[in-house]
A = this chain, B = another copy of it.
Amino acid sequence: MILTVTPNPALDRTWRVDRLTHGETHRTDAGAARAGGKGVNVARVAHSQGASVLAVSTVGGRTGVEFAADLGAGGVPNRLVPVAGATRQSVAIVDESRGDTTILNERGVNPADPEWAELLGEVVDALPGAQVLVISGSLPPGAPPTLLPLLIGTARDAGVPVIVDTSGPALLHAADAGASVVKPNAAELVEATGISDPVGGARSLTARGVELVLLSLGARGMLAVTASEVLHARLDAPLAGNPTGAGDAGVAACAVLYADGIRDPAMILTRATAWSAAAVLMPLAGEISDEWPALESRLIVTPYDPTAREERL
């Protein structure tokens, strides 16, 4: 079973307008609300591909009621710890003319320590049945810096490898605490490590003990950085679509392979890049296109050569 933890879940609300104009009033159809947050998206994608999953998170307030109802309706097995603070909302306004999306992310309310303890308790209860733990997304402002190390340490003590997708100082804390895989993008790596070369930043994480850094490059694919090699996977031509949730689909691919005992970086990189690309073809985060095997067969995987013109980051 793939156990996912989402420390800062969100109720994603989406509205569509013909053309978003500053300071104007727009008529729209009814918006959609959906349980979101990176760990939830990972669980959705893995679940949709037949993997056994358990999504652990928190819920509070009216938005939490909506969150729980939607997650339940999607059939994703879950354990949601009730918290006093309302589940945050994320607002997406899709501009149909321009084809872009304007997003507002509420920062989220930090649960009280006993509420965090209960989340940790759910993870401890679930670990015996888990082959991999995924911790994905931001932390609410004010979250204890010990939270991620505690979750990672608990999983490692139970013999369960941990995949972490987060940013800022939490990324370094995760590496130091023993995360097996991290999946930053180039900007997050530079920001967290202070190293201006993303590959150098990724290498600084493997030096801290991370087995595999999946470095997402957006339309240019993904790098797999280990202590001994750097591989690059990319499509032969860029895809048009919705990149929201593409990274989460990559993490889901990695989690599914990890749960099956697979550790080969090239195999993980290939599947993660294919699922990321397949997520771009879908309108909502947490879904991937059934066309992913065709995308996977189109991937070009090469050792990364920083001197090659088409490889420069």
Contact = CB atoms under 8 A, between A and B. Distances in A.
Nearest to A86: B30
A65 interface: yes
A104 B30 contact: no
Contacts of A27: 105-107
A109 B26 CA distance: 17
**A contacts with B: majority SS:** strand
A20 B22 contact: yes
Contacts of A104: 15, 17, 25-26, 28, 93
Given A15-B91, A62-B65, A22 B100 contact: yes
A88 interface: yes
Stoichiometry (number of copies): 2
Contact of A26 (B23, B88, B105): B105
Contacts of A20: 22, 102
A31, A66, A109: residue with the most chain B Cβ atoms closer than 10 Å: A31
A176 interface: no
B95 A22 contact: yes
Given A62-B66, A104-B15, A88 B24 contact: no
A264 interface: no
A21 interface: yes
B62 A106 contact: no
Interface in A133-166: none
A91 B91 CA distance: 10
Given A27-B107, A91-B15, A102 B66 contact: no
A89 B14 CA distance: 12
A29 interface: yes
Nearest to A109: B30
Given A27-B107, A29-B106, A30-B88, 13 more contacts: A15-B106, A17-B104, A20-B102, A22-B22, A24-B102, A27-B106, A28-B105, A28-B106, A30-B86, A30-B109, A31-B89, A31-B91, A31-B106
Interface of A: 15, 17, 20-31, 62, 65-66, 86, 88-89, 91, 93, 95, 98, 100-107, 109
13 contacts: A17-B104, A20-B22, A21-B102, A22-B95, A23-B98, A24-B102, A27-B106, A27-B107, A28-B105, A28-B106, A30-B107, A62-B65, A91-B93
